[in-house]
Amino acid sequence: MKDKNKTQNKKNYEHNRIANVPLNGKHKPERAKVNNGVFVYSKIPTVASLAKSLDIEPSAIIKYLFLNKKKIVTINQTLDEDTLGEVCLEFGYDFRKEEIVAEEDFENLNLNDNPDDLTERAPVVTIMGHVDHGKTTLIDAIRSSHLVESEVGGISQAIGAYQKEYHGKKITFIDTPGHEAFAEMRSRGAKVTDIIILVVAADDGVMPQTKEAIDHARAANVPIIVAINKIDKPGANIEKVKNELIQLDVVPEEFGGDTIFLNIAAKKGVGIDELLENILVLSEMLELKANPKRYAMGTVLEAKLDKGEGPKATLLVQNGTLNASDYVVVGAAYGKVRRMTNEHKKILKVASPSTPVSIIGLNEVPKAGDLFMAFPTEKQAKDIANKRHALKVDEERNKNQSVSLDDLYDKIHEGEMKEVNIIVKADTNGSAEAIKQSLEKLTNDEIKVQVIRAAAGAITESDVLLASASHALIYGFNVRPDNLVKTKAQEEKVDIRLHNLIYALIEEVEDALKGMKKARIVEEVTGRAEIRQIFKASKVGSIAGAYVTEGSIIRDSKIRLIRDGIVIYTGKLGSLKRFKDDAREVKAGFECGFTIDGYNDIKENDIVEGYVEKEERE
Ligand code: GDP
């Protein structure tokens, strides 16, 4: 037998830590093994296989348990985790459990924590509410209340979160992240908050962002504590606020609901103790637990590049314990924790569940909302980070795989495309629908033509985003994108095609599918003017007083009249004037007057776009 005392003197914590281990081809998770004197397992073995791994007789284990622990076990039985640990130590081995992590997908890991390992953890609280209702004031009031010795006069660093001790219990506050940041984190699968404090000013009542915060809380299934603030103000009307919240189904306990309502005056520190008290009461009801015995996992709250120290991230440890010497993978970044500090710049060796810490040592700056996981060795962390990196590059590449009509045929033939997605925007629902049907009929054995959105209206930024996300082309029929939308489309590499004849539109797609690049009529926009005033003249009809905003308006060119992004009329100018004189061309930055040939119903804010047509051969 090996030196028993020496082994048993080792800290139990280290033996017990459940390691996250990447699953890869070489690793056989179901096989327990001894590695450098450590018995490593992921599933608890039978007495027989444990004995084999430890190179002892099964009878030795059975005898030891019977004589020392009064436990009768058989050779085919599995031991409980505590007994397994005792046996390992008794026979001179350390032990460690491993959680096998699917290589690049630790976000979807199902944790199997032994209920006996779970211990209470501090609640994580976020403060939300309408602007100016007192969130920042409340955060400050909480921070400065009941300062413990280590906090008084200490240098604090803004790490986006802090812990407060009250009646011997800790509460973790996340500095109000703003509703968008909260939603963004949630969309990345992060769930960091256990309780939301909803601040509502008593003199202002429920406001749009109050409702928004309630929606966020509900969507994330997080309980709310309502803090009615500014009760010291003369205009305070607590009952009105309560009634408004009840309308939104946030009902106080006194009226049979399940939401805690408190009255506070953050600026004067009134009601802060009661709020802290109630956070503890609620968190007790929520039975918040975590397993400190495992390697840490959690979420990035903030990250930035520090000039002197490199990538710096605030991590919220949500399960497990983070050690100052662990290796972490965050998003696709990784590194050894070189230094770990709390919000008072105090260096920490370990961080237990619900502790926010600032770390340096990562090789890249991660994103807020990214999940992190700690690993025992650099190799494991590096392997997993590399795989995640490759996955990310693939995702980016796919994202940038925009399609343009011109390379459609090549992509189809190289087998890269099996379907063409198209967005149709038209001047009326009827034409949108007609174009959709004609386009979908172009589907053949090789390629499916799919119209993913067909609607009446101007081409908008949301169309461009949808096109970008689904590698779609956009077809506009008698509609025009404005400049903002054009720029967005260029950024996202989305091809926008504009037509005013249905058959020409369909033919263009048909030809592209066949790989035929026919000579086509392309138009060149010469300029745009904004109609600012209308003059009625009995003889000539409506005269537009306009300002040329781009390029130039040419007397003999074709024009289209655009209202709210929709082409209302296509034709020619009847006249073009600078003051009283006829003009051949009016340039950007000048005013002009014109009539439209055969069209009188012009309105202020209409846009006139001049264009010429040219034949283009490829
Ligand atoms: P936030 O936008 O929600 O973070 O709101 P602030 O914390 O910046 O507060 C907005 C204004 O309300 C500030 O001028 C605060 O001083 C004031 N304020 C906050 N709490 C109280 C309070 O309890 N009573 C009074 N009278 N004013 C308060």
Burial label for 157, CB within 10 Å (0-12, 13-18, 19+), is middle
pTM as predicted: 0.58
Q: Which atom of ligand 1 is nearest to 199's Cα?
A: 3
Cβ–ligand 1 contact at 233 (below 6 Å):
yes
Cβ–ligand 1 contact at 271 (below 6 Å):
no
**DSSP 8-state symbol, 349:** S
Cβ–ligand 1 contact at 232 (below 6 Å):
yes
Say whether pLDDT at 186 is over 70. no
pLDDT for 106: 64
pLDDT for 9: 42
Give pairs for 585-588: CB < 8 Å, separation 24+: 585/552, 585/553, 585/554, 585/555, 586/529, 586/548, 586/552, 586/553, 587/527, 587/548, 587/551, 587/552, 588/527, 588/548, 588/549, 588/550, 588/551, 588/552
Check if the beta carbon of residue 325 is closer than 8 Å to that of residue 336: yes
d(CA 86, CA 446): 65
User: Can you tell me whether residue 383 is helix, strand or coil?
Assistant: helix
How many angstroms does the Cα of residue 473 sit away from the middle of ligand 1? 49
Residue ranges in 77-122 assigned as alpha helix (H): 81-90
What is the Cα 318 distance to its own chain's centre? 18
pLDDT band at 104; cut points 50, 70, 90: low
User: Model confidence over 402-459: pLDDT tens digits?
Assistant: 677 777 777 777 766 778 889 999 988 888 989 999 999 998 888 889 888 888 888 9
Cβ–ligand 1 contact at 209 (below 6 Å):
no
d(CA 72, CA 470): 63
Cβ–ligand 1 contact at 135 (below 6 Å):
yes
Mean local confidence (pLDDT), 609-616: 83
Say whether pLDDT at 312 is over 60. yes
User: Can you tell me whether residue 341 is helix, strand or coil?
Assistant: strand
Sheet containing 496-499, strands listed edge to edge, beginning at the edge strand earlier in sequence? 448-456, 419-426, 472-477, 496-499
Cβ–ligand 1 contact at 133 (below 6 Å):
yes
Say whether pLDDT at 262 is over 50. yes
Cβ–ligand 1 contact at 560 (below 6 Å):
no
Q: Which atom of ligand 1 is nearest to 264's Cα?
A: 23
User: Can you tell me whether residue 183 is helix, strand or coil?
Assistant: helix
How many angstroms does the Cα of residue 241 sit away from the middle of ligand 1? 17
pLDDT band at 5; cut points 50, 70, 90: very low
Looking at the DSSP bridge assignments, the partners of residue 305 are 311
pLDDT band at 302; cut points 50, 70, 90: confident
d(CA 150, CA 344): 8
Which residue's CA is the nearest one to ligand 1's atom 18?
134
Cβ–ligand 1 contact at 134 (below 6 Å):
yes
Ligand 1: which of 127, 132, 209, 272 to mutate, most ligand atoms within 8 Å of CB?
Answer: 132
Query: Amino acid letter at 559?
Result: I
Say whether pLDDT at 235 is over 60. yes
Cβ–ligand 1 contact at 128 (below 6 Å):
no
pLDDT for 401: 57
Mean local confidence (pLDDT), 119-123: 96
Q: Which atom of ligand 1 is nearest to 137's Cα?
A: 7
pLDDT band at 480; cut points 50, 70, 90: confident
Phi-psi region of 415 (alpha: psi -120 to 50; beta: other; left: phi over 0): left
Cβ–ligand 1 contact at 137 (below 6 Å):
yes
Angstrom CA distances, 581 to 110, 210, 574, 585, 588, stand at 79, 59, 14, 11, 18
- Between 100 and 421, name the one with better pLDDT: 421
Say whether pLDDT at 179 is over 70. no
User: Model confidence over 288-299: pLDDT tens digits?
Assistant: 999 998 889 899
Cβ–ligand 1 contact at 131 (below 6 Å):
yes
Cβ–ligand 1 contact at 132 (below 6 Å):
yes
pLDDT for 1: 43
Nearest CA to 408 among 385, 441, 442?
442
Cβ–ligand 1 contact at 380 (below 6 Å):
no
pLDDT for 3: 46
How many angstroms does the Cα of residue 207 sit away from the middle of ligand 1? 15
User: Can you tell me whether residue 364 is helix, strand or coil?
Assistant: coil
How many angstroms does the Cα of residue 244 sit away from the middle of ligand 1? 20
Query: Amino acid letter at 34?
Result: V
d(CA 593, CA 21): 75
Say whether pLDDT at 4 is over 70. no
How many angstroms does the Cα of residue 126 sit away from the middle of ligand 1? 17
The residues, ordered by sequence, that sit 6+ positions from 518 with a Cβ below 8 Å of its Cβ are: 511
d(CA 141, CA 265): 10
- Between 114 and 479, name the one with better pLDDT: 479
